Amino acid sequence: MGFSQNVLGTLLLVTSILTGVAASADTPPAPLAINSDDSVIDINTTPASLELSSAQDSIATNLAIQNYLSAIDQQENEAGPYDPILSEMTYGLGNTLQHNHRYEEAIAAYKRSMHLHRVNDGVYSLSQVPMLRGIIKSHIELGSINEASQSYHQLLWLHMKTYGENDVRLIPLMDEVGQWHLETYAQMGRRDDLYHLQASLRLYSSAIDLTASQLGSTNLQLVDMLNNFALATYYRALHERLYPDAWGNPGGAPFGYRPFGFSEETLRRGTHYLNGLASYRNALDILENNPDAPIQDKAETYAQLGDWNLLFGYPDAATEAYHQAHSVLGGVEQKDLILDALFGAPKMLPRIKKQPVVSSKVSKKPGNNNDRLSVLNERYVNVSIEVTSEGRVTTIDILKTHPENAPELETRVKRSLHSSKFRPRFADGHAVLTSDFTMKMLTPH
């Protein structure tokens, strides 16, 4: 047993050196549009030093994996197939495999680790959480969105079985999973992605209800959840317009899923515009009733209210809300910096407010070759556009496409930009024309 413990310690040290990780989860995919200040690695050059480093890393990784497998076999022979140490060893193996893009093998390792925790710690033990997060990340990297969704809801189900259905500790996870579904729909938006909208709306409505009932109706945590609930409502309106026959066939529900919050009948009452408008006004009321609320949050929420009106074709109401965002900053020391962040450049709509993920994350070492691999696998189009003071795109120039000679990507991006609306740039308190605005448009596979 002592030898295996030493081997485990050595393997965990090797893993941390190779991967620079303490856990196995990362943030969900990024939105489609990225501003031009995001740098792109030059994918056309491969220095000899990079090739040598990559080869060395590959040798070290393969050695670490083989050592893991040998140590796991030895531990199993010495202590039996359900020894608790095996759960840590298989989890470390999963981290190493995941970091080196061997995602299917990583999932198998995480599942074995999770099974061992269930055997030793109980079916509902939260000791399974790191493995589930590793499984989720690996499925996302593989593009297995349905499987990732099932694992996310298994994660939520596990917390509900541990804490009960009305515990405030569920709120951050409901928020996280709701946002993941919202971002996933925003990236894909196909007819069959309806389930993501349904799940996001239900999760956000439950998180809002739980927060209001347990923490108070003026709790500041409600602000971002209300904003994202409104955005999910916008995407629902868009989906209904694009696929009017889709709502009668929601598809299968994943493991651990149940209809949270509002019923479908409740969600369908009223217009989408008014439902979203009520969410933004509720958020503004909360900010007004919290004297300690950051003033920039009030300005940002007014800007989001303006975005909402612009998306639904109410430009005058949008302009009024944008001017209110300027007004609330009167006399604030950081006024110019806040206004520049909100209105210094056009912003493609809608914009999802990011939430911090309350979990440990994979941390990448600077200069890690995996950063280069992610760029090599990316599909994107760099564009220069002209955005009017009304937030419409009138001119599109293609600057670069990766991969090259992919006219279907360029067509897709142009179609998306022509049908999109932008929060316009403001100068001296007025919306103005913006020329030669550059953007990087990611195009998911």
Which residue type does 76 have? E
The pLDDT > 90 percentage for the chain reads: 61
- pLDDT of 222 > 50? The answer is yes
Confidence of residue 347 (pLDDT cuts 50, 70, 90): very high
List, as one string, the DSSP characters of 167-182: -GGGHHHHHHHHHHHH
How far apart CA 174 and CA 152 sit, in angstroms, is 10
Instruction: Find, among 173, 152, 176, the residue nearest to 163 by Cα.
Output: 173
Task: Return the pLDDT at 392.
Answer: 95
The answer to whether the CB of 80 falls within 8 A of the CB of 74 is no
- pLDDT of 152 > 90? The answer is yes
List, as one string, the DSSP characters of 180-229: HHHHHHHHH--GGGHHHHHHHHHHHHHHHHHHHHHH-TT-THHHHHHHHH
Confidence of residue 20 (pLDDT cuts 50, 70, 90): very low
> Which CATH code for domain 1-143?
1.25.40
Give the lowest-confidence range in 23-27, 225-229, 330-334, 416-420.
Answer: 23-27
Instruction: Find, among 272, 265, 263, the residue nearest to 239 by Cα.
Output: 272
Task: Return the pLDDT at 354.
Answer: 61
First to last CA, the chain: 47
The pLDDT > 70 percentage for the chain reads: 76
Task: Return the pLDDT at 377.
Answer: 53
Residues 6 or more apart in contact with residue 387 via CB below 8 angstroms:
346, 393, 394, 422, 424, 425, 433, 434, 437
Ranked by mean pLDDT, which of 215-224, 247-256, 400-409 comes out on top?
A: 215-224
Q: What confidence tens digit (pLDDT) does each residue in 268-323 have?
A: 444 889 999 999 999 999 999 998 899 999 999 999 999 999 999 999 999 999 99
Q: Which helix (H) or strand (E) holds 442?
A: strand 434-442
Residue bearing the bigger pLDDT, 61 or 240: 240
Q: In what order do the strands lie in the sheet with 380-387?
A: 33-35, 434-442, 380-387, 393-402
Instruction: Find, among 319, 314, 219, 325, the residue nearest to 276 by Cα.
Output: 314
Token code pair at residue 355: 């939430």
Token code pair at residue 201: 């709306």
CATH number for 378-442: choose from 3.40.50.20, 3.30.2420.10, 3.40.50.10860, 3.30.950.10: 3.30.2420.10
Q: What is the mean pLDDT of residues 315-333?
A: 94
Task: Give the chain's mean pLDDT.
Answer: 81
How far apart CA 324 and CA 224 sit, in angstroms, is 19
Which residue type does 175 have? D
Residue bearing the bigger pLDDT, 41 or 411: 411
Q: Which helix (H) or strand (E) holds 145?
A: helix 145-163
Quick one: DSSP state of residue 246?
A: G
Give start-end residues of each CATH 1.25.40 domain in the chain. Answer: 1-143
How far apart CA 153 and CA 199 sit, in angstroms, is 10
Which residue type does 378 have? E
Give start-end residues of each CATH 3.30.2420.10 domain in the chain. Answer: 378-442
